[in-house]
Structure 1
Amino acid sequence: MPGQKILCVAEKPAIAKAVAQHLAGGQVTTHPIRGNQYVKNYEFDYNFRQWGNCSVTMTSVLGHLTGLDFDPKYKSWKSCHPRELFDANTVTTIDKDKKSVAENIQQQARHARVLFIWTDCDREGEHIGGEVRDQAKKGNPNIIVKRARFSNTEKAHVVQAAQSPIDMDECQVNAVAARIELDLRIGASFTRLQCLELQRLSETLHDQTISYGSCQFPTLGFVVDRYNRVRNFKPETFWLIKLTHTRDKIKVNFNWQRVHLFDRAAVTIIFEACLDDKLATVTKVQKKPTSKWRPLPLTTVELQKQGSRFLCMTSHQVMAVAEKLYQKGFISYPRTETDQFPREFGFEALIQRQTQDNSWGQFAQGLINGGFHTPRSGSHNDQAHPPIHPVNYAAASALDQNEKKVYEFVVRRFLACCSEDAKGEATDIEVRWGSETFHTHGLLVLQRNYLDVYPYDKWESSQQLPAYTVGETFKPTEANMVDGKTTAPGYLTEPELITLMDANGIGTDATMAEHIAKIKDRAYVDTRPRSGGGRNSVQEFIPTTLGVALIEGYDNVGLDVSVSKPFLRKEMELKMKAICEGRRSKTEVVQESLDQYREVFVKTNSQIGALRDAVTKYVVNGGRG
């Protein structure tokens, strides 16, 4: 007979169901909860190593259970000056549609000895676990609290997690609580100021929420900065020397070592001096083995970048689909900074599951038959989750169109990691003509290896170069002085934007896609396919007149550190990390960050005319400058 009762709580209904099925071995009773159609209670018996044979209730929440809001007296936007929101009283709230979920946890906890939390093993999941614990303790103040550490919903992995409970990480809970409070106070104060001051300037803005976010604005700033560089670009004429030589019916183009110069007279003098020398001399012929490295194991940032580049999806769509694939048990947890597999990782079983596929099954079999190479290790390890990888085989019929694309990318990336670098032979030839050096490069791909399964990388043999020997001379077949013009950079693409956000510490790997989606939702930017890219072209970002106006307006306020630049938010993210590592307290970080942003707010409020002028110039007068 089972002894004590254990209450298990997952972050999402799909995870609760998967864990219950794995632990129950089919002997599970399902009960709906009153007031919510999505959350179920699963009851079964299970023998835990730590607690013995127990009666288990497995249930879930639906993401965050609680929210932080201002005291109801601040609800009206005109109830106080926006600056007062930096210090206004806050209350923890539970949305109406989640009250039944909270009550279910309280009720189930009353008779339980242990609360076993199965929320996602990241910072946000830890905070959700804290919310669950708080509700459970309302029902049973003496309940023991543990959490499961897991990265996927595969049965053996779930059983291992069930047998190895760990303590919750209060530092991570506090870091998220700090972030939630800062986002509320900073976002609400600036958003109210912007709306109250700017909505009245134009009919088009009257009903528009002109929101502010400390990640949102630096993200928009990157887009506007590139837009301005493109708009302000002035092409310059340059000149260069082209040298060609035909041998064995092969036309070889030699590139000038100086590339090009902007002084026509100087290039003319150099070119005429070269013409005086009738023959060019071969000064270097080098053939050497070369490789194209297989990709590193897959992180969240890399999945978002490559997904938006190759899959015709936004980073937000890619992450939503990856989350679904994780919940269905097909891939590992899709939020990870780690690009190195642990030493004891079980590659063979995972590769074996992919051998049945019609597209990459043969390649996977080749790895099993001796082609396997231990994946390269990158320099990042978040100590929480392994790199993203396939867990179970998913037949194409089990997936929708977008799921197929993301799943295929994850599988191909994993198999490519476990393969061998592509091998080739590079040929470099240098010639001296007059006082100038010219060179050409050839590549012969000898073994494609990982490229056979990973079509997202390109590495092609160039035209075969004819034989040259050092010291020989030849008469150039053709030599010309030609001109050209510098070209503007392209508008920012989503992979480029994610790279900038990652390098500048804007958001976390899990939230970058949300910040990008937010500036689109707020009509601060539009997207369009990059011209000349064909049907599968990558999207590029163009700021709207409002987006340009907001960034220019804030820049004109004359802040010491502009809110359109990443520095303030990057500093805040570093402080969150310090809380996670136990080096700083939540209270001091919140106070310090609020003091910094309050200073920015006061200056913005006193110079609000600069923001109004920019919005009038671009939005009201209908020009981008």
Structure 2
Amino acid sequence: MVKWLCVAEKPSIAKSITQILSGGQFTTRDATRPRWIKNYSFSYRMGPGGGHTDFTVTAVAGHLTENDFEDQYRKWYSCDPSQLFDARVLTHVAQNPDHLGIEQNLKNEARKATHLMIWTDCDREGEFIGSVVAEVCRKVKPNIVVKRARFSAIIPAQINQAARNPVDLDQRQAWAVQARMELDLRVGAVFTRVQTLELQNRVNAVAEKVVSYGPCQFPTLGFVVDQYERMQAFVPEPFWYIHVGLVREGDTTSFSWRRGRLFDRDVAQAIFDVVEDDSEATVTRWETKPTQKWKPLPLTTVELQKSGSRLLRMTPKRILEIAETLYQRGILSYPRTETDQFDRDFNFHELIQKHTGDHAWGQFATNLLNNNGFERPRNGKKNDKAHPPIHPTAHVNNLAAEEKSVYDLIVRRFLACCSKNARGLQTTVEIVIAGESFSATGLVVRERNYLDVYPYDRWTGNHLPDFELGERFQPDELALREGTTTQPALLTEADLVSLMDKNGIGTDATIAEHIAKIIEREYVFKQREGGIEYLVPSTLGIGLVKAYDSVGLENSLTKPHLRRLTEQRLVQICEGVKTKNDVVQQTLDEYRDVLFRTRQQMAAFVAGKAAGAAEGQEGAVEEAVEQDEVDEAAGRARTTAMTTTRPAVEDEGAGV
């Protein structure tokens, strides 16, 4: 008789799956340890024509295993740090009561099952966690049949579809995660030890501090420092431009100079003198044509972080935490996705119908369905072939505070995607004065469409009076005006998310963690100006970047190149183009070369660090937040922490 053991990634997901598949009819058993792990049992019909099958649903709590170096390499002074590139790495279930209890519960339940169905999140990390669960179960049931359920939202239709159509685990994705974990452990431990020990010996400010390194953390820090230095090096430069204004129909129309601006005052003055001497303007173009403001693309994880940070004034990390919580409650689709295009057979009308009764956007949703307001969402250029864009899966009206803000943004984005572009008429007038060209534009918004539900976008009309082709007139305002170039702004978290995404630092789901990490390490702090929070590097952060840059390496550890290559190779593992071992060895060879060259130039490195770490800045140096993180940075790195949600971090192998 077939008996299925279903294993979810989190206890909350296990409970939600159980309630859907069982129709609310199930029995509950506590695991021996930890008590918050539950085992749910019920009978389930696998298909319309099939009989009932015994199901047991349980859960892990994120990652079950951890990576460690062997004992002889764990102490800071046990070996030269470079030996950690080749030291043996051990992988085992984390040695604490909760981890061991979860492992034992899996074994106990696997003994009674014939089939195992993995219900972890459908991404790389989930595939790896699923492969670990399968390995644990096979220890007591070698012939257990392993399958995986694929779903993107915790709603009845998808959960039942996934249960009845399980597929094979994608081992390539699991190998990619294994490669990333090993690389982060080795590289993080090597460079944390090297830079800490060298700096402790030579720079008083860090004499008793751990200066952690992470292969994603440092390029992220590099972006912040680079922008800060551009701002600091900025010197305002004056420029001049010709202003033309015409008062007509009670308003002043300003015309823009085609040359824009000139940085040579004498040249600008000479041109203006000619224009002033022959100031009559002639209309050379008068044109009105349709224009539109494009509705937003479907929502990806990166775009959610950027938009949420900019519009809701929340950190990217917090936004993803809330989205994850709403997903677990069946309110949103899976919030970690790179896809910005919906499948051709996606049922938009069913989801829109759920929102027709909402007091804020119900009328808009009704118009989409009944008044020809619907238009299929635009297709972006990304498709991870795993999950659809982020969208609401249910209508709720009992949320508050931050949860409501994130939910509202996602719902409004979805409805806006299903609407039409805003449409209007744009009028352009061009004039010539003494051979110099000027222009002005006007806009009349005719159809707001998606703007009615998406207040985060602005598109306002501006009146332009009527002109006639060939018309001549004397400007009411004609002046040579002076301006100065504007200092570049510091990065916001939204800016940093964009830079990291563009340069391949981290993944859509881990970018927020890397930003939070450099703030937690006190390499960067936040500074509020005019209601906006900017990222400012600390003295320590600047010093570390300057130190590595002073070495003069083409592949500096504070630049994105090496990590971008790593991320690209992980994708190649998933695609079957490269093997895990090939990627690990190729990447480690590159970091070996960086370490060799850094040590050759260690005097320059320390001098660069000293230049950025003035006396009295010891407080800018972080001591790892928890002692176990210090141990991890020293080589006793754990790839995971036991939490009820999976840590979305790329650098956790070294705790940095």
TM-score (normalised: structure 2)? 0.91
Partner of 2:421: 421
Matched, 1:585 2:582: no
Judging changes above 3 Å, is the alpha-carbon distance between structure 1 residues 209 and 458 closer, same or farther for their aligned structure 2 residues?
Answer: farther
Matched, 1:481 2:495: no
Partner of 2:213: 212
The 8 Å contact of residues 255 and 439 in structure 1, kept in 2 or not, is answered as: yes
Corresponding residue SS for 1:498: helix
Partner of 1:575: 569
Paired amino acid for 1:373: E
| 1:166-315 superposed matches below 5 A | 166-199=167-200, 205-206=206-207, 208-315=209-316
Partner of 2:603: 609
Partner of 1:16: 14
1:607 Cα deviation (Å)? 2.1
Judging changes above 3 Å, is the alpha-carbon distance between structure 1 residues 450 and 198 closer, same or farther for their aligned structure 2 residues?
Answer: same
Matched, 1:498 2:513: no
Partner of 1:394: 396
TM-score (normalised: structure 1)? 0.96
Partner of 1:512: 511
Paired amino acid for 1:72: D
Matched, 1:523 2:517: no
Matched, 1:335 2:341: no
Distance in structure 2 (CA, Å) of the matches to 1:374 and 1:179: 38
Partner of 1:555: 549
Matched, 1:57 2:39: no
Paired amino acid for 1:147: R
Matched, 1:447 2:447: yes
Paired amino acid for 1:195: T
Distance in structure 2 (CA, Å) of the matches to 1:225 and 1:440: 37
The 8 Å contact of residues 549 and 611 in structure 1, kept in 2 or not, is answered as: no
1:72 Cα deviation (Å)? 2.2
Distance in structure 2 (CA, Å) of the matches to 1:602 and 1:202: 21
| 1:91-240 superposed matches below 5 A | 91-95=90-94, 96=96, 97-199=98-200, 205-206=206-207, 208-240=209-241
Partner of 1:356: 357
Distance in structure 2 (CA, Å) of the matches to 1:88 and 1:408: 50
Q: Work out which of the residue numbers 387, 396, 399 in structure 2 matches 1:385.
A: 387
Aligned Cα RMSD in Å?
A: 1.5
The 8 Å contact of residues 205 and 615 in structure 2, kept in 1 or not, is answered as: no
Distance in structure 1 (CA, Å) of the matches to 2:594 and 2:44: 56
1:290-320 CA distance string (max 9 Å, x none): 1001101101110010011001100010111
Distance in structure 2 (CA, Å) of the matches to 1:622 and 1:381: 50
The 8 Å contact of residues 111 and 140 in structure 2, kept in 1 or not, is answered as: yes
Distance in structure 2 (CA, Å) of the matches to 1:504 and 1:203: 35
Distance in structure 2 (CA, Å) of the matches to 1:263 and 1:203: 49
1:38 Cα deviation (Å)? 2.7
Partner of 2:46: 48
Partner of 1:433: 433
Corresponding residue SS for 2:461: coil
Distance in structure 1 (CA, Å) of the matches to 2:208 and 2:375: 58
Distance in structure 1 (CA, Å) of the matches to 2:45 and 2:141: 23
Distance in structure 2 (CA, Å) of the matches to 1:294 and 1:379: 15
Distance in structure 2 (CA, Å) of the matches to 1:91 and 1:613: 37
Corresponding residue SS for 2:612: helix
Distance in structure 2 (CA, Å) of the matches to 1:37 and 1:438: 75
Partner of 2:2: 4
1:139-183 CA distance string (max 9 Å, x none): 211111000010010011100110110001111111111111001
Shifted more, 92-101 versus 169-178: the winner is 92-101
Distance in structure 2 (CA, Å) of the matches to 1:347 and 1:281: 52
Partner of 2:648: none
The 8 Å contact of residues 31 and 38 in structure 2, kept in 1 or not, is answered as: yes
The 8 Å contact of residues 546 and 612 in structure 2, kept in 1 or not, is answered as: no
The 8 Å contact of residues 553 and 612 in structure 1, kept in 2 or not, is answered as: yes
Paired amino acid for 1:451: L
Corresponding residue SS for 1:258: coil
1:608 Cα deviation (Å)? 2.2
Shifted more, 313-322 versus 188-197: the winner is 188-197
Paired amino acid for 1:493: T
Corresponding residue SS for 1:357: coil
Q: Work out which of the residue numbers 524, 537, 542 in structure 2 matches 1:543.
A: 537
1:485-509 CA distance string (max 9 Å, x none): 1111101111211111111111111
1:345 Cα deviation (Å)? 0.7
The 8 Å contact of residues 201 and 620 in structure 1, kept in 2 or not, is answered as: no
Corresponding residue SS for 1:559: coil
Partner of 2:651: none
Distance in structure 2 (CA, Å) of the matches to 1:487 and 1:601: 40
The 8 Å contact of residues 220 and 564 in structure 1, kept in 2 or not, is answered as: yes
Shifted more, 370-379 versus 308-317: the winner is 370-379
Distance in structure 1 (CA, Å) of the matches to 2:218 and 2:25: 52
Distance in structure 2 (CA, Å) of the matches to 1:209 and 1:365: 59
Matched, 1:31 2:29: yes
| 1:365-380 superposed matches below 5 A | 365-369=366-370, 370-380=372-382
1:203 Cα deviation (Å)? 6.4
Q: Work out which of the residue numbers 590, 594, 597 in structure 1 matches 2:591.
A: 597
Judging changes above 3 Å, is the alpha-carbon distance between structure 1 residues 268 and 622 closer, same or farther for their aligned structure 2 residues?
Answer: farther
Shifted more, 209-218 versus 336-345: the winner is 209-218
Q: Which has the higher contact order (CA 8 A, sep 6+)?
A: 2
Distance in structure 2 (CA, Å) of the matches to 1:497 and 1:326: 25
Judging changes above 3 Å, is the alpha-carbon distance between structure 1 residues 478 and 262 closer, same or farther for their aligned structure 2 residues?
Answer: same
Partner of 2:623: none
Corresponding residue SS for 2:480: strand
| 1:450-461 superposed matches below 5 A | 450-461=450-461
1:201 Cα deviation (Å)? 5.2
Gapped regions of structure 1 (runs ≥ 5)? none
Judging changes above 3 Å, is the alpha-carbon distance between structure 1 residues 206 and 154 closer, same or farther for their aligned structure 2 residues?
Answer: farther
1:394 Cα deviation (Å)? 1.6
Shifted more, 126-135 versus 246-255: the winner is 246-255
The 8 Å contact of residues 428 and 439 in structure 2, kept in 1 or not, is answered as: yes
1:36 Cα deviation (Å)? 1.2
Distance in structure 1 (CA, Å) of the matches to 2:389 and 2:594: 39
Distance in structure 2 (CA, Å) of the matches to 1:557 and 1:606: 9
Corresponding residue SS for 2:179: helix
Paired amino acid for 1:335: R
The 8 Å contact of residues 209 and 522 in structure 1, kept in 2 or not, is answered as: no
Corresponding residue SS for 1:6: strand
The 8 Å contact of residues 202 and 620 in structure 1, kept in 2 or not, is answered as: no
1:68 Cα deviation (Å)? 1.1
1:32 Cα deviation (Å)? 1.5
The 8 Å contact of residues 428 and 439 in structure 1, kept in 2 or not, is answered as: yes
